[in-house]
C-alpha cells in the first residue's frame, strides 16, 4: 500500500501506513491518493526571492525566504483580511472540459489575526466560494510577498468522523497530506487509508499583500469551487 501511495503522489507521501498498522486481524484496506502539481500562470523570479521576517502567533519571528512578485495582481479587501488568488497555468484539463485551478491566500490584517479570521470564515462559509454577500472591494496590489513553504500533516480520522455522528464499521482511518509552494508553483498530495477489522470593476486603491504572518491557503478549481487542499501556514520555517 505504501509503495502504491508513493507512486501515486510522485514521492511526496512515502509512509501512509505506519508500522504495525496492519495485523493478522486486518480484513481489508481501502486506500486513495491525490496528487496535484501546478505551475503558476505567472511565475515568481527566483532572483528576487529574499530573506525576511515572518511573525508567529506568539509574537516571535523567524527568517524565511519570501517570493517577491514583479507582475501585477489584484485582491479582494474585506474588513479585516485580504484574499489573493494566483491562477495556475492552463493545461489539458482546460482544453478538455474547461477546468482551471488556482491557489487562494487569506491574509488577516493583524499579525495575530488568524484565529479571528477563521471564526469569520466559519460563520460565513460562502466567502470561500465567493457566494457570500459581505462588504469587500477589488483592489490593485502595490507589493506582493509570499513565503516559500513546505509541510505535511497526518491524523487518525475515525474518531472525528464518529464525533460527527457517522456510524462507521471501521477501526482506523489514516489521512496524510503534504504541500510545497515555491517560485514555480506548488505540489500537493493527499492520501487516506481505511483499515477494517472484522467488523469585477476597476480597482479603487492599492494594498500591500505581504504574508509575513500566519495565513490560510487553499487550492481550488474555480469553475466548480471544489477545494482540493486547504491549510494554515503558522511557521514556514517548519518542514
pLDDT digits (tens, 9 = 90+) for 2-13: 787 777 776 777
For the record, the C-alpha cell of 126 comes out as: 460562502
Q: What is the CATH number of the domain that holds 14?
A: 3.30.497.10
Task: Tell me, yes or no, whether 239 lies in a domain.
Answer: no
State pTM to two decimals: 0.77
Q: What is the CATH number of the domain that holds 90?
A: 2.30.39.10
Pairing of strands 137-147, 206-210: parallel
Residues 141 and 108 in one domain: yes
Total number of domains in the chain: 2
Q: In what order do the strands lie in the sheet with 172-181?
A: 26-39, 185-197, 172-181, 149-156
Angle at 109 between CA 37 and CA 228, to 5 degrees: 25
**Burial annotation 122-134 (CB, 10 A radius, 16+ → b, else e):** eeeeebbeeeeee
Domain span at residue 114? Answer: 41-148+200-233
Task: Tell me, yes or no, whether 238 lies in a domain.
Answer: no
Residues 143 and 154 in one domain: no
- For residues 18-22, average pLDDT: 73
Residues 50 and 115 in one domain: yes
Half-sphere exposure of 219 (CA within 13 A, CB side): 23
Residues 9 and 124 in one domain: no
Residues 155 and 109 in one domain: no
pLDDT digits (tens, 9 = 90+) for 31-84: 666 667 788 989 999 999 999 999 999 999 999 999 999 888 888 888 899 999
Judged on CB neighbours under 10 Å (0-12, 13-18, 19+), 143 is: exposed
Element (DSSP H or E) covering residue 33: strand 26-39
Task: Tell me, yes or no, whether 123 lies in a domain.
Answer: yes
Amino acid at each position: 500500500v505504501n509503495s502504491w501511495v508513493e507512486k501515486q503522489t510522485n514521492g511526496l507521501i512515502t509512509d501512509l501506513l505506519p508500522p504495525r498498522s496492519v495485523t493478522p486481524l486486518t480484513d481489508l484496506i481501502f486506500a486513495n491518493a491525490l496528487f496535484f502539481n501546478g505551475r503558476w500562470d505567472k511565475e515568481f523570479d527566483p532572483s528576487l526571492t529574499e530573506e525576511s521576517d515572518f511573525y508567529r502567533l506568539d509574537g516571535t519571528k523567524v527568517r524565511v525566504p519570501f517570493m517577491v512578485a514583479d507582475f501585477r495582481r489584484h485582491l479582494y479587501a474585506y474588513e479585516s483580511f485580504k484574499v489573493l488568488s494566483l491562477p495556475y497555468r492552463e493545461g489539458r484539463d482546460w482544453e478538455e472540459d474547461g477546468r482551471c485551478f488556482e491557489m487562494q491566500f487569506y491574509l488577516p490584517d493583524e499579525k495575530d489575526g488568524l484565529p479571528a479570521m477563521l471564526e469569520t470564515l466559519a460563520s460565513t462559509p460562502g466567502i470561500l466560494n465567493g457566494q457570500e454577500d459581505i462588504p469587500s472591494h477589488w483592489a490593485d496590489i502595490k507589493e506582493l510577498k509570499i513565503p516559500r513553504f513546505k509541510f505535511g500533516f497526518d491524523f487518525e480520522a475515525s474518531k472525528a468522523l464518529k464525533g460527527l455522528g457517522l456510524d462507521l464499521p471501521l477501526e482506523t482511518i489514516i489521512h496524510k497530506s503534504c504541500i510545497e509552494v515555491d517560485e514555480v508553483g506548488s505540489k500537493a498530495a493527499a492520501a487516506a487509508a481505511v483499515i477494517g477489522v472484522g467488523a469585477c470593476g476597476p480597482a479603487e486603491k492599492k494594498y500591500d499583500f505581504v504574508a509575513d504572518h500566519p495565513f490560510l491557503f487553499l487550492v481550488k478549481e474555480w469553475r466548480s469551487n471544489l477545494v482540493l487542499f486547504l491549510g494554515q501556514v503558522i511557521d514556514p520555517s517548519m518542514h
